[in-house]
Structure 1
């Protein structure tokens, strides 16, 4: 592993670890008290280099909810519609986010009902996640003050 790390650092033209290693050896020869501290720092430096070499992947972005047949009251069930079109029910399972945009380009989607099932839920509309405190499990949520529904482009199960 040490050889691969050194080879990778030299290939990139960035041999800081090698320079540090030479300095640490010289310091340890001159003063034995620094041997254990030098080893600890060297291990930390190697860990930092290895961590930086591993590409970061956003975990949250990879978790997606998915649409399922409405066969259970445990699923999240939403009633949505495109402007001036009939409503449709969609059921969603698994934690994460899901886009619920219309296949009709430029058409707004409207949410008229949420039945959370065994989930805590928020929807995204008007550029923010709503409500600020997620809707609890086993809750039916409607919008009596907005008979046409509220704007929605995403839904998330927490």
Structure 2
């Protein structure tokens, strides 16, 4: 039994990782520059992309789901940020209520900041499974997708080291 939990591959996730080409042994002679250039160009022609474009693309169902969530989780706070500026102006101009400028600034920055965070949450809270639409607020999908993202970062960092 392994310590790692088993996870299902997503429909748009490649089934296997591409294999790396073997490097030459350090004891072999170097080829002349012309031959090396010709062989490199031949390798480029013969080499296929590790994944097909369709394998790497996010399915339309999933991307539509992400766009809807980003519009809701980012659009609402952004709209409220703009509305807070209009309301503070109307209160100042017509109701003669003077709000402290720092309060207006902090409320506005807070709402626009929530809008920026809403973009990330909208993408990560969407279900990345084409068959399963997910929940309304997407708390469980967020934790699953966040874990996948962190796992990818760690795998990338380990490859570089």
* Greater percentage in helix: 2
* Greater percentage in strand: 1
- The alignment's TM-score, normalised by the length of structure 2, stands at 0.27
Q: Which has the higher contact order (CA 8 A, sep 6+)?
A: 2
